[in-house]
């Protein structure tokens, strides 16, 4: 028998957030003598390869999601539903081949419903036990709940990257009445865990961090360009893609950066402007960083999180349509000097896996 059990790590490829939040978990798997193998594609592949150049990375097809350029995503969501079902079935079948060719023991799926197999121990991670559908599609919420719960039950464990109690970051997305018995709250995840950036000398007034699927990422980039071209503010931008930049920014531009590089940039800025993707929120929360959240238009999850955290007094939020550089600077919320309690539940779950295999 192999001494090191192989863990297949496969994040969803909607932006870089899922891959980024998997970084601390991959490090913990390595710490406890597991052998992580990464399965990814596109920009997520590139990011994780930068983080872990020594690890094996398998090219694994993603969902290739592209949202509408308009604010409403109702029609686009309807058209995507059959495609997503098809991709889930396809990735489930592809996984069989990957497991056989690479002798996988554990499959860790970050929000990809089709990545479970009867021959492996299967872990699913999500911060959305409840998905908010836009407008006319709200009638689909109970249908989604029924289908998603059925799929989550296929997994041995379901990890929620948040606090379990009233102090939490995801609100009703994951804190709802749930009859699933394989749920474990493991605490917020951040590639910047145990790092403090408060006392670092600042050289940027604003750091823009872009992410998410096309075309809204490039639309927001264009808005930023138009509003900063004549500004005296010291800015920097992380584009979150290796595609050619079509905007001639007059300040430092970075495409895809690794954890160390991004931390260095954040530590040098007074204010971060970014999407309200959950992974970005966890990073900013654990860094205690002042930020403005601009949800991706039509992504109800991001819109909910931005409003939820604004009401809790953590971050200022504004829609992309109403984004105005001067306006956000006059409305920034100073991050509250609150006590953020730490949790090692994620490490305990991995230790439990190690103990389980030691007994076999």
User: pLDDT at position 30, please?
Assistant: 96
Tell me the average confidence (pLDDT) per consecutive run of 10 residues in the chain, 360 residues long: 87 87 95 96 91 95 66 60 86 96 97 96 96 81 90 96 91 89 94 70 93 85 94 94 91 91 92 95 91 91 94 94 90 76 85 86
Q: For residue 127, what are the contacts with CB-CB under 8 A and spacing of at least 6?
A: 160, 161, 162, 170, 173, 174, 278
Q: Coil, strand, or helix at residue 334?
A: coil
Q: What is the pLDDT of residues 89-134, one digit of tens each?
A: 999 999 999 999 999 999 999 999 999 999 999 999 999 999 888 7
Give the C-alpha separation, 283 to 279, whole Å. Answer: 6
Report DSSP state, residue 141.
H
Q: In this structure, what token pair is assigned to residue 176?
A: 């709802």
Give the C-alpha separation, 353 to 101, whole Å. Answer: 23
Q: Measured at the alpha carbon of residue 182, what is the angle toward residues 181 and 185, in degrees to the nearest 5?
A: 110
Write out the DSSP string of 136-171. GGGGGHHHHHHHHHHHHTTSSEEEE-S-SSSS-SSG
Report DSSP state, residue 70.
S
Q: Coil, strand, or helix at residue 209?
A: strand
- Domains in the chain, CATH or no CATH each: 6-191+342-359 (3.40.50.2000), 204-329 (3.40.50.2000)
Instruction: For helices 278-287 and 300-311, give the axis angle rounded to 10 degrees.
Output: 30
Model-wide pTM > 0.95: no
Query: Which phi and psi angles does 55 have, rounded to 5°?
Result: -90, 155
């Amino acid at each position: 028998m192999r001494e090191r059990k192989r863990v297949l790590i496969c994040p969803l490829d909607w932006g870089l957030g899922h891959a980024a939040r998997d970084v601390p978990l991959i490090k913990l798997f390595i710490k406890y003598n597991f052998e992580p193998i990464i399965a990814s594609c596109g920009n997520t592949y590139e990011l994780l390869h930068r983080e872990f150049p020594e690890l094996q990375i398998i090219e694994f097809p993603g969902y290739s999601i592209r949202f509408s350029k308009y604010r409403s995503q109702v029609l686009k969501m309807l058209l995507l539903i059959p495609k997503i079902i098809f991709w889930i079935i396809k990735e489930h079948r592809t996984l069989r081949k990957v497991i056989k060719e690479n002798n996988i023991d554990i499959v860790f799926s970050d929000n990809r419903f089709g990545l479970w197999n009867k021959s492996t121990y299967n872990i699913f991670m999500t911060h959305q036990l409840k998905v908010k559908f836009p407008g006319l599609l709200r009638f689909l919420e109970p249908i989604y709940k029924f289908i998603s719960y059925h799929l989550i039950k296929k997994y041995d464990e379901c990890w929620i990257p948040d606090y379990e109690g009233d102090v939490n970051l995801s609100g009703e997305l994951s804190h709802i009445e749930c009859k699933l018995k394989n749920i474990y709250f493991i605490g917020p995840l951040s590639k910047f865990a145990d790092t403090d950036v408060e006392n670092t000398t600042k050289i940027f007034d604003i750091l823009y961090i872009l992410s998410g699927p096309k075309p809204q990422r490039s639309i927001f980039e264009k808005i930023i360009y138009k509003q900063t071209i004549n500004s005296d503010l010291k800015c920097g931008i992380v584009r979150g893609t290796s595609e050619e930049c079509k905007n001639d920014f007059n300040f430092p531009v970075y495409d895809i950066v690794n954890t160390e590089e991004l931390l260095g940039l954040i530590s040098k800025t007074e204010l971060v402007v970014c999407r309200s993707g959950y992974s970005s929120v966890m990073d900013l929360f654990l860094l205690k960083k002042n930020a403005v959240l601009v949800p991706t238009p039509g992504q109800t999850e991001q819109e909910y999180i931005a409003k939820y955290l604004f009401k809790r007094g953590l971050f200022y939020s504004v829609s992309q349509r109403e984004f105005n550089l001067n306006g956000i600077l006059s409305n920034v919320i100073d991050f509250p000097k609150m006590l953020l309690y730490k949790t090692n539940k994620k490490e305990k779950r991995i230790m439990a896996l190690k103990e389980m295999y030691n007994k076999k």
